[in-house]
Chain A
Amino acid sequence: MTRAGRAGAFLWSGWAGLAGLSLLGAAWQAGHEAYGHFILPAPVETLAAAIALAGSERFATVAGETAVRALTGFGIAAGIGAGLGIAAGYSFATLRAVRPLMTVLLGVPPIAWIVLALIWFGASGGTVVVTVVVAAAPIVFGAAAEGIATRDRGLDDMARVFGANAAQRFATLSLRALAAHLFPALAVALGTAIKVAVMAELLTSTGGIGGALASARAQLDVVQAIAWVLVAVALLLLLEYALLQPLRAELERWRRAAEPWGVRR
């Protein structure tokens, strides 16, 4: 299948996702009718508010602030997590030394990191980025270490017979084994980055979508609050489907070839 064909098939598969989202909308509407406007505003009204927000002057500043902080934290977390994970995947001594640290990092709730970062760095964008890094890096680390440690050693031997040095084996074999584990983890880490960034902004009053949510809560404006949540979700979907999924689809074409016909359509 050509690249355009794959893109078309992917877009066509969006109908199924749209059906799932319609079910959520129906449940939301039912909740609205049962509990009233103040508790749960109507989905159409909230959607209209979100669209109005997107057209407003301050939208680019507010959403951009959150996006930059989340992406900076995500980028640093992906770099540190993948780097350490690759090293740990090759060296079991390193894996044994680093894994408990990552478990500790994963075990501490992000809210605790926000409090500590507030004390260490004050109420600034840096606090948000640090919290995102601490929350997302262990996810990437675990996947990278797993990807390298479970690589097919038979392929490594095959490459060695044909004269591949360590760098060639890493570039041509290990990176592909790594990608299969890394991409799902990067998608989770990106989601975590957006969620933690909004939460940190809300608690540290440093602007962004979290800041806008705090202000909506102070004014008891439920429509605005949910509209900002929709904006955060839209931001996550945009980043995931514009950045991660195209790269993943390109690298994992062969998996699609292995799918039964009925699953592909």
Chain B
Amino acid sequence: MSVLALEGVGHAYFGRFVLEQVRIEVRAGEVLALIGPSGSGKSTLLAIAAGLLDPLRGRVVRHYARQAMVFQEPRLMPWATVAENIAYPLRLAGVAAGERRARAALAARAAHLAPEDLARFPVELSGGMRQRVAIARALVGAPDFVFFDEPFTALDVGLRRAMQDMVIETAAGSGFSALFVTHDVQEAVRVAHRIAVLDAAGKGIAGERAVPGEPGLRSPREVFATALGFLEEDPLFRGVERAEERRVGWA
């Protein structure tokens, strides 16, 4: 059964269509990676799926109770401490202060943050630590669905792997479903059950591929071989790691 379904979604900015006829289904407990070249409308699609944008066409059907999101930038409140930032979703949900503190400390530990970091302000943290706080904030409310918008782009290779492992472990442990946007095929192969490739011009989903094995159980060699196979032999993946922005056409 699908927990999130995008049915014929289309969107335009100032009369220019960036997305047309996009259909996606994410099943319960599944991590679906959405990849596509830069500028293909991945972040717009994610914003529509998360309810931040109303689609111009089509509809979004959600069958889950609690959602969370990890953005490309950490988006932390600069005036709040790490503990207050992590506990923010709980504060919105009306959870009592004592319980908020305890759950924020647990989420911080899961994100490999030290207890002494909880009293710090975001300006006192490195970029990687800030992103870990954002991940802890996303997971503290035990969400059923998590949106990831290229969350590890700004991190170095080692930290990126550690964060990917954390997402894989938490997804397996808590069973949340996720839509994971990235333009890195290797990252998609590591974290996802299935990969959907967005058409370079945003005209629907160009195709989907199931990733062999289970996230977390694939060896680095398997991840590398699968990603290389997709990039070199599968025409669906041609151009997905292209860096330049595409030009959008008039509607």
Binding site for B on A (CB under 8 A): 154-155, 157-164, 168, 172-173, 176, 251-254, 257-258
Contact residues of B with A, CB < 8 Å? 47, 50-52, 66-69, 71, 73, 75, 77-80, 88-89, 91-93, 120-124, 141, 147
Contact B51 A161 (CB under 8 A): yes
Residue of B nearest to A176 (CB): B79
User: Is the beta-carbon distance between B68 and A258 smaller than 8 angstroms?
Assistant: no
- Do A154 and B73 have beta carbons less than 8 Å apart? yes
Tell me whether A172 and B91 are in contact in the complex, defined as CB-CB below 8 angstroms, given that A158-B75, A161-B147 are known contacts: yes
A61 to nearest B CB, angstroms? Answer: 42
Bound complex: CA A160 to CA B67 (Å): 10
Q: How far is the CB of B177 from chain A (nearest CB, A)?
A: 15
The answer to whether A162 and B89 have CB atoms under 8 Å apart is yes
In contact, A257 and B69 (Cβ under 8 angstroms)? no
Q: Which residues of B contact A173 (CB under 8 A)?
A: 77
**5 sample A-B contacts, Cβ–Cβ < 8 Å, listed by A number:** A161-B52, A161-B68, A172-B77, A173-B77, A258-B121
Per DSSP, chain A at the interface is helix
Which residues from chain A contact B79 at a C-beta distance below 8 Å? 176, 251-254
Given contacts A154-B73, A155-B75, A158-B75, contact A163 B93 (CB under 8 A): yes
| Shortest distance from the beta carbon of A157 to any chain B beta carbon, whole Å | 5
B120 touches A155 (CB 8 A): no
Q: Which residues of A contact B124 (CB under 8 A)?
A: 257-258
Indicate whether A163 sits within 8 Å of B89 (C-beta atoms), given known contacts A154-B75, A252-B79. Answer: yes
Give A154 to B43 CA distance when docked, in angstroms.
13
| A90–chain B nearest beta-carbon distance, Å | 18
Complex Cα distance, B120 from A36, in Å, reads: 57
| Given the contacts A159-B92, A161-B147, A162-B92, A254 and B123 also touching, CB distance less than 8 Å | yes
Q: If the complex has contacts A155-B75, A176-B77, A176-B79, are A161 and B50 also in contact, measured as CB distance less than 8 A?
A: yes
> In whole Å, how far is A158's beta carbon from the nearest beta carbon of chain B?
4
Interfacial chain A residues near B120, Cβ < 8 Å: 257
- A254 / chain B contacts, CB cutoff of 8 Å: 78-80, 121-123
What residues on B are CB-neighbors of A251 within 8 Å? 79
Return the chain A residue nearest B120 by Cβ. Answer: A257
B199 to chain A, nearest CB (A): 25
With a CB–CB cut-off of 8 A, which chain B residues contact A252? 79
Q: Are B88 and A162 in contact (CB under 8 A)?
A: yes
A161 touches B69 (CB 8 A): yes
B77 lies within 8 A of A162 (CB): no
Q: 6 closest A-B pairs (Cβ-Cβ)? A: A258-B123, A162-B89, A254-B121, A161-B69, A158-B75, A257-B121
Q: Looking at the assembled complex, report how far the CB atom of B84 sits from the nearest CB atom of chain A, in whole angstroms.
A: 10
A172-B91, A257-B124, A258-B123 in contact; A161/B67 too (CB < 8 A)? yes
B52 and A157 form a contact (CB under 8 A): yes
Q: Could you say which residues of chain B place their CB within 8 Å of the CB of A155?
A: 75, 77
